[in-house]
Every structure is written in structure tokens, then in C-alpha cells.
Amino acid sequence: MSERRLQILDAAASLIAERGFTSTSVDDVIKGAKLSGKSHFYHYFKSKEELGYEVLNRQFERFAERGLAILREPMIDPLDRLSLFIDAVVALQAETGGRRGSPFGNLAAELADAHEGFRIRIEAVFERWASQIRSLLWEARPQLHDDVDAVRLSRFIIAALEGAVLMTRVKRDLTVLEGIAFDLKRFIAMHVRDGAVQSMRHAGQ
């Protein structure tokens, strides 16, 4: 991947996070990435739509590296990993001072009904995310109640986090996300067998 492409992708990601895809113009991206003009931009991307797709890809890769990766840490107890992952989401949101939402949730809300191409790609993002959590839950099953529904629980976790990030952005108050993260851990702890090896350790404040 060329340097310039990444520069464009980063500028576009930042602009889209701030104003949304529709309200980000190609000219804005050109200014943001300090390109010389339209021809320069269209030398790297064949359309605004394709740029959007690649921005989404890149955002997911970043999230996979900085967030989802925690779910796979082999040396940590699975349920502790889940707790650490939730902390990581909070930390990620804290980086922007509570502003900016989830790049996936934002695009979803903006384009899910209007643009099938984006809808499908965002659906895939959520599915990969949910699948990571399901694997972790499977791995943790000796510590969990027998009736835990991994599909349902993984969706619940994602929905709670996405909703929390959105509310945090609207209220401009990070404690909203922190409180929900705390409650989410309590909810997860509810699925843990009594007397199971210590878990959700991080839920205690």
C-alpha cells in the first residue's frame, strides 16, 4: 500500500468520522491529504464510493489490531480478556475525548437503508466482531452456565457498546460509556458459574 494512499485514507477517515460520509466531499479529502487536485486523487481511487469502502476496511483493521486482538490473547483467562476488551473500547473512545462515535455505527446509521454496498460491508464487520466474541465464549464455556447463548450474548455486548459510544458522543460525557461498560461487565458476570475460577476480576472498581 503506497504512502500516499494511506495518507488519503487517513485524512478521509478523520473527515468522515467528523462529518459523515455524505457530508465529506472529495475536495475536502484533497485538502485534508494535501493533494494537488482532483486528478491527483482520482489517480489513487476510482470513485468516492471506493474510497469509502477502503476507509471502512482500514478502520476495521485498526479496530482488529487495537481492540479485537485482546480477545485472542492466549495467556489471559478468556473472561478477563473480555473485560480488558471492554476497557479497550472505553480507552479508544477516551482518545477522542468522548467525541466521534464508532466508525461502524456511524456509517451504519447514515447509510444502512440507503446504500446496500455499505450495509453489507458493515454487516460483515459486526459479524466478524461477534464471531470473535463467540469464540471467546466457547473457550470460556467451562466457567459459564450451560444455558449461555453465545450468539445472543455476543450481540448484546456489541449493541450495548455501540449504543454507549453513541450516547457518550451526544452527551459529550465519557462517564456515560464508563458506567455502561461497568454494567456490561456485571451482566457478563451473571453468566459465570458459581465458584468458577476467578473471572471478571476487572469488574470490581
Partner DNA sequence: TGATTATTGGACCAATCGGTCCTATATTGA
Partner DNA sequence: TCAATATAGGACCGATTGGTCCAATAATCA
For a copy of itself, the binding residues (CB under 8 A) are 17-20, 22-23, 99-101, 105-106, 108-114, 119, 122-123, 126, 149, 151-153, 155-156, 158-164, 166-167, 169-171, 176, 179-180, 182-184, 186-187, 190
Residue 128: other Cβ atoms inside 10 A: 13
Task: Give whichever of 9 and 148 is closer to a copy of itself, judged by the CB atom.
Answer: 148
- Supply 83's cell numbers: 473485560
- The least distance separating DNA from the CB of residue 200, rounded to whole angstroms, comes to 45
Contacts of 163 (CB under 8 A, 6+ apart): 180
Under 8 Å between Cβ of 168 and 176: yes
Among 6, 25, 116, 128, binds DNA (CB under 7 A): 25
- The least distance separating a copy of itself from the CB of residue 183, rounded to whole angstroms, comes to 5
205 binds DNA (CB under 7 A): no
Task: Give whichever of 143 and 154 is closer to a copy of itself, judged by the CB atom.
Answer: 154
Distance CA 151, CA 131 (A): 8
Distance CA 184, CA 10 (A): 32
> Segment near DNA (CB under 7 A), from 21-29, 53-61, 74-82, 146-154?
21-29
100 Rama class: left (phi>0) / alpha (psi -120 to 50) / beta: left
- Supply 37's cell numbers: 487536485
- The least distance separating DNA from the CB of residue 12, rounded to whole angstroms, comes to 11
Residue type, 105: G
> Segment near DNA (CB under 7 A), from 36-44, 73-81, 102-110, 125-133?
36-44
User: Residue 109 binds which one of a copy of itself, DNA, none, with CB within 5 to 8 A depending on kind?
Assistant: a copy of itself
Task: Burial-class residue 3 by CB neighbours within 10 Å (0-12, 13-18, 19+).
Answer: exposed
179 binds DNA (CB under 7 A): no
Triad 17, 104, 138: Cα angle to 5°: 145
- The least distance separating DNA from the CB of residue 51, rounded to whole angstroms, comes to 8
Q: How many residues bind DNA (CB under 7 A)?
A: 19
Judged by the rule CB under 7 A, the positions of this chain that interact with DNA are 2, 4, 24-28, 35-40, 42-43, 46-49
